[in-house]
Amino acid sequence: GAKFVHVFYHFARYVMIENMKKLSVGTGIPFAEAVKWRPRNMYIAKARHRVAYSKLLQILQREYFVFQEYRRKER
């Protein structure tokens, strides 16, 4: 159920952060610390999420359109 998904998500996040810590040692890039940061202003964080989501959706729609055009020209 929902509790299992929540626990599994937190476990996967923990494993990812630990793996990133190992891989970023000596590179001078603090990936793991950036993942752990919490936004100070949730309104701004949600706005950034909406912008990123919209941009991703536009990219996927454009990609779908290009594939449809290739298929149409292929026939």
Inform me whether the pLDDT recorded for 15 exceeds 80.
yes
Assessment of whether the complete model's pTM goes beyond 0.85? no
Coil, helix or strand at residue 75: coil
Residue-wise pLDDT for 19-52, tens only, equals: 777 776 666 666 656 666 677 788 877 887 788 8
In angstroms, the CA 31 to CA 36 distance is 9
The domain limits of the chain are 1-37, 38-74
